[in-house]
Amino acid sequence: MRKIELKAQQFAKRYLENNMNGTKTAKELYKTKNDRIAENIASTNLSKPIFERSILKEMEKQGLTDEGLMTIHKRNLEQAEHLPSSNAALDMAYKLRGDYAPEKKQSVSLNIDLNNPEAIDKRIAELTSQLKQLDGGAAN
């Protein structure tokens, strides 16, 4: 087994033990005390496909399958304590598995003369029209 694969497996196991806290996991595995460095390491690791695959495999080993996640989800609907942390862990699990639709983003550069109210109103109308076309007429 390659060193990166072993590191990915270790990270995945510890990551799940730490309730998907990447910073804490990186601090433990990489022996750093600096939160910023640990956060950067965790972010880098979590963006690599080999680490993502290892986490998904470890999740399956630990019973975080469709059925396991649904059981936790149902439990959360009925409990009153520890909801934020449990829901955050579920959210992260769903994201890792790719269960959410991809986010849609678009950036727009605005070049408006702020001293000309008519130009501002005209540009807002143009942008609103473009948004309606992009959203299939749903924008107001």
Sign of CA dihedral 17, 65, 92, 80: negative
Q: Looking at the structure, do residues 78 and 110 belong to the same domain, yes or no?
A: no
Same domain for 93 and 114, yes or no, is no
pLDDT of residue 103: 72
Residue 125 has pLDDT above 80, yes or no: yes
The average pLDDT across 82-111 equals: 75
**Whole-number average pLDDT of the chain:** 84
Domain boundary among 63, 81, 97: 97
Which residue range forms the structural domain that includes residue 135? Answer: 104-140
73, amino acid identity? H
The domain tally of the chain equals 2
For residue 33, the SS3 value is: coil
- Could you tell me the two tokens for 15? 């990551």
Q: What digits encode the pLDDT tens for the residues 35-77?
A: 999 999 999 998 999 998 999 899 889 877 888 888 888 888 8
Residues 16 and 37 in one domain: yes
Q: Say yes or no: 92 and 127 in one domain.
A: no
- Of residues 93 and 2, the one with the higher pLDDT is 2
pTM beyond 0.85 = no
| 56 in the same domain as 32 | yes
User: Greater confidence, 9 or 112?
Assistant: 9
